[in-house]
Amino acid sequence: MKVQVINPNTSQSMTASIGRAARAAAGPDTQVIACCPDDGPESIEGHFDEAIAAVGVLEEVRKGVAAGYDAHIIACFGDPGLLAARELARGPVIGIAEAAFHVASLLCTRFAVVTTLTRTRIIAEHLLRNYGMAEHCTSVRCVDIAVLELETLGDDALVERIAEQALQARDHEGAGAIVLGCGGMADLPARVSERVGLPVIDGVAAAVKLAQVLVEMGLGTSKHGDLAYPLAKRFSGRFGHFGG
């Protein structure tokens, strides 16, 4: 089985980190292909960044479909371009936020999300609502660390910042699990869990496991209705290759 893991930003170092986390979660018969777009934002921290990054995601999914990959994972917590990517692919396409929310809901009645910047809280809240998960979430909490700073802060300091918010959600809101709200946190769930005594869900690992199960069950994206392949039409300029 070949699973494409797409980091929607252009950071090669973060792509490598996400790839390591994905391979650690994958089974021995699963090949993980980690990639990122050549063009786009170096980090995704707002609606504008997501809109630009979504085009890069679609470019990578198109390549992955052509290469015959069995499933595709969008490894940014905003799940940019998720539904559009599902139009392009027959195999499963899974966003890490959606995967993490669903896995958390199987482990507890209420979970909390700990993400990066306060300005991105609304994006996570929109996803919770759109995925029907808002009632399962006690809060979306932020450590106010920029995405690229996750790589330079140091794991010990980062774990403490995340744990501080997680403990608040546990002790004052009754959260029974914690969802890590950034692909750049993919290597931290075990350490945060040890610190706060709760299940901690990383969306990259959750998405990989779900992708494997769906492929093994012979299930792929429905091509009936709104997720049918895009209508053939002419695209102009730099998007001409999407036409036909």
Query: Which band of pLDDT confidence, cut at 50, 70 and 90, is reported for residue 91?
Result: very high
Neighbours of 238 (CB within 10 A): 9
> Percent of the chain, pLDDT > 70?
100
Give domain 2-95+205-242's CATH number out of 3.30.390.30, 3.50.50.60, 3.40.50.300, 3.40.50.12500: 3.40.50.12500
Query: Which band of pLDDT confidence, cut at 50, 70 and 90, is reported for residue 154?
Result: confident
Map residue 115 onto helix, strand or coil. strand
Taking a C-beta distance cutoff of 8 angstroms, is the pair 10, 42 a contact? yes
Rounded to whole angstroms, the Cα distance separating 64 from 85 reads 11
Residues 6+ apart with CB under 8 A from 194: none
Domain ranges of the chain: 2-95+205-242, 97-202
pLDDT digits (tens, 9 = 90+) for 4-16: 999 999 999 999 9
Q: Say whether pLDDT at 32 is over 80.
A: yes
CATH no. for 97-202 = 3.40.50.12500
Query: Which band of pLDDT confidence, cut at 50, 70 and 90, is reported for residue 243?
Result: confident
Rounded to whole angstroms, the Cα distance separating 135 from 110 reads 8
The pLDDT of 170-178, averaged and rounded, is 98
Rounded to whole angstroms, the Cα distance separating 113 from 201 reads 9
The pLDDT of 40-52, averaged and rounded, is 96
Q: Is the pTM of this model over 0.75?
A: yes
Least confident of 13-27, 144-158, 159-173: 144-158
Length of the chain: 244
Closest CA to 126 of 114, 134, 118: 134
